[in-house]
Structure 1
Amino acid sequence: MPLAIVVGSLLLFVVGAHVGRGIANLLSVGWWEFPDRADLFTSLPGLLEGDAGAGLTATHPMVAPAIVLWVCIAAVELAILGLVVAGIRAGLRLWGPSRVQGVATRVEAERLLGWSRLRRHAAIVRPDLYGKGRGQA
């Protein structure tokens, strides 16, 4: 599973570089083109060197300047990095070693205890939300 997460993340970053190039070309010269699947990895070195037309099948007379290209790629990559980190964090919270096991869902607790008893014993029923040290600023 960790290998699949790493490979999937790397693929997202490669696709993100091409999306950043598309955004840069769209903002600078007004056209968008995505490379063929076969050119996703082979055009990456030229793309990272600042060539906004690397790996594209159509030849365009104008492409985005290198600085615009790098700024757009960096913005897209930062957004992808944030999504990957948020996904890993959410996954660890649900399935990681520090997850709370054996905690009832909200519907199960309400059905078994009722609202008044549930509120009285909230620290026992959901120690992750209402336990000692929780809710204090």
Structure 2
Amino acid sequence: MHVYEIMKTIETRFNGVYKPSPGSIYPVLKSLIKEGSVTVVEKDGKKVYKLTEDGEQKWAEAKAHVKHFFSNTNYRRLASELFDLSLVLYNYRSKLEKPEVFHDVDLVLMECRKKIEMILEDHNKEVS
């Protein structure tokens, strides 16, 4: 695919909630090319990126891992909650343009992440 096609595919799969920029796509492609997972060829004067055989295998393994991970009902529930939260943020994106609102929401999210990490670290200590 061309970079524009990659960006549009990602945007479509995220239902418009996430729209990657070329600046976020090119470093990833560069890394994938370097590791041999993607090749680039010129077609009609444009660069086209394609998974190599190794890239196809890694992609299949990653998909299987994610599918297995989310086959657990609890993980699916957490992922669903996170997705719903992203939709809330998207739906109120105009409000988030106000610096004070963005700041307040950002603080809540950072505090939430810290609390989740503390819970998981505490439970990890119990297991060790």
Task: Give the alignment's TM-score, normalised by structure 2.
Answer: 0.34
Greater strand percent: which structure? 2
